[in-house]
Amino acid sequence: MVLGLDLSVDPLSHRHRHPARRGSPGLRRAQIRAATPSSRITMLSRQQNPGRASDGAAGTPLYLGIDFGTSGARYALIDGRGAIHSEGKRAYAPGVARQVGDAAGWASSWKEALFQLVGDIPPAHRPSISSIAIDGTSATTLIVDSKTVELLAGPFLYNESFPDALPAVASIAPPNHTVCSASSTLCKLVSWWNTSGGGGGGSGEDAVLMHQSDWLLWLLHGKYGVSDYNNALKVGFDPEADAYPSWLTSQPYARLLPSVRAPGAPIATVKDDVCSQYGLSKECVVCTGTTDSIAAFLAAGTTEPGRAVTSLGSTLAIKLVSKVRVDDARFGVYSHRLDDTWLVGGASNVGGAVLRRLFTDDQLVALSRDIDPAAASPLDYYPLLKNGERFPVNDPDMAPRLEPRPESDVEYLHGILESIARVEAKGYSLLRELGATAVEEVFTAGGGAQNEKWTAIRERVLGVPVRKAEQTEAAYGAALLALKGAERRDDIVRI
């Protein structure tokens, strides 16, 4: 299946050792600039106030970040001071059957949302966009034919498990490694390889592995074979050694692995046809992306050990700045590199998706008003949409627990919110038990950050200060990566 937009394909070298730049001074500077609330400028949408679109924007370099979450996509357009000039969101296309493994549904929905968002940016701003970065859900994986541009397999979604590949992966990886989880990127690759790729009788000769954000960025720059070390973590890349380990590169499917660079590294300029269609500058640079939870962390702008960010979206993800690296697949715990410290964390399947199934947005607002956050709820739930949990318990068979349901919807919502908070607290406690720096303060990002009663419940349950991050959207963090990439545009990958 070839997806509509014509993609010119230029290969990037497939190397298996890729020095990733450890320092991120550009990103540090961007975070400092972005931390000044008084500089935040929110531009009304083109439809609400057309006259504002070009007000003061001409000639000011702008940086575009796009976040692809589990239910929709958002963009944020910032300047060099971190001020927001425009932002917007799109839900994935309604009426499309996007079941697990449905490549046509998911891929076409993502692609449609990407170009809708670019088209939503006020036309006066588009020529000023200097760079673009995209984040996507961790371990969401595609296998693409680099010659025909055909999707050979996937998208395999972030929470999709492949237990058939786990024994083979566990036999080559170190004990309790991040890849030793049925939902890891490597398990998805190995499962495909053994059934459809070279190991299953197919050649897989021109196949290349891409993460969700890699693929979306590819639609903009047209070159395959490059990723970032945040996304590549769950396929086995070692951010401390800045290389794929030998136990992985010795496998026959290793030739599918992309080249790995630091998040926010410039890849190439935007394709000519995309520039022409959307009025982008031909000098606009496309940069490597990151995962959605890392982007949300970057948006919060906190880098001190003991500080943490909880992303409350469709699912719950926590990231803690630690002096010590911790990786333990038994509990779904892994570490990303952040300059000279580590981002330790994990992602649970509990979260807002359960709330949205049970309540409308209006109901959530109304019912939350009547909750007393100082009172502990006696209800003990484990709010999953379906069987399977990743963190702080790694159990693919864990069943949802949402009963008994009291007569009062207020009590029911209180119980669910508090139960999710208990999962969050167990997560931070587990990180400490495994050797990470103890959490001292939690910033909240994502849709759940808007609920003040939930914040108060979480502060009581966690026992540390909890507050809403100044910037709560992952798209803002992706925009900071774009800013970082624009500052390093001379490092564009050379073919």
Question: What are the Cα distances from residue 440, in Å, to 305, 416, 453, 463, 484?
Answer: 9, 25, 21, 9, 28
Beta bridge partners of 286: 132, 268
Cα 164 to the center of its chain, rounded Å: 26
Residues paired with 74 in a beta bridge: 67, 89
Could you tell me if 439 and 310 are in contact, meaning their C-beta atoms sit under 8 angstroms apart?
no
In 3D space, the residue among 312, 399, 401, 318 whose CA is nearest the CA of residue 364 turns out to be 312
Count other C-beta atoms under 10 Å from residue 139's C-beta. 28
Give the side-chain half-sphere CA count within 13 A for 355: 28
Q: Cβ neighbours of residue 75 under 8 Å, at least 6 residues apart? A: 64, 65, 66, 67, 86, 87, 88, 89, 117, 118, 120, 121, 475
For 331-398, the DSSP string reads: GTBEEEEETTEEEEEEEES-SHHHHHHHS-HHHHHHHHHT--TTSPP----B--SSS-B-SSS-BTTP
Pairwise CA distance, residues 343 & 356, whole Å: 29
CA atoms within a 13 Å half-sphere pointing along the CA-CB vector of 9: 16
**Which one-letter amino acid corresponds to residue 119?**
G
CB atoms within 10 A of CB 374: 8
Residue carrying the six token digits 């910033």: 443
User: Directed axis angle between helix 409-433 and helix 361-369, to 10°?
Assistant: 90
Distance CA 476, CA 135 (A): 10
User: In this structure, are residues 388 and 397 in contact, taking their beta carbons and an 8 Å threshold?
Assistant: yes
Smallest CA-to-CA distance from 182 within 160, 164, 168, 161 is with: 161
Helix (H, G, I), strand (E, B) or coil at 266: strand
Identify whether the C-beta of residue 160 lies closer than 8 Å to the C-beta of residue 92. Answer: no
CB 236 within 8 A of CB 461: no
Residue 334 CA to residue 73 CA, distance in Å, equals 25
Q: Which domains does the chain have, with CATH numbers?
A: 62-293+476-494 (3.30.420.40), 303-469 (3.30.420.40)
Output the CA–CA distances (angstroms, integers) from residue 106 to 68, 116, 426, in the order listed: 12, 15, 33
From first to last of the 495 residues of the chain, give the pLDDT tens digit.
333 333 333 444 333 333 333 333 334 333 333 333 222 222 222 223 322 333 444 579 999 999 998 889 999 999 999 999 999 999 997 655 445 445 568 999 999 999 999 999 999 999 999 999 999 999 999 999 988 888 999 899 988 999 999 999 999 999 989 899 899 999 999 999 999 877 665 667 889 999 999 999 999 999 989 999 999 999 999 999 999 999 999 999 999 999 999 999 999 999 999 999 999 999 999 999 999 888 988 998 888 999 999 988 889 989 999 999 999 888 889 899 887 899 999 989 999 999 999 999 999 999 999 999 999 999 999 999 999 998 999 898 999 999 999 999 999 999 999 999 999 999 999 999 999 999 999 999 878 889 999 999 999 999 999 999 888 789 999 999 999 999 887 766 543
Phi, psi of 153 (to 5 degrees): -160, 150
CA separation for the pair 435, 416 (Å, rounded): 29
**Which residues fall within 8 angstroms of residue 178, CB to CB, at 6 or more apart?**
184, 233, 234, 236, 327, 329, 334
Nearest-Å Rg of the Cα atoms of the chain is 22
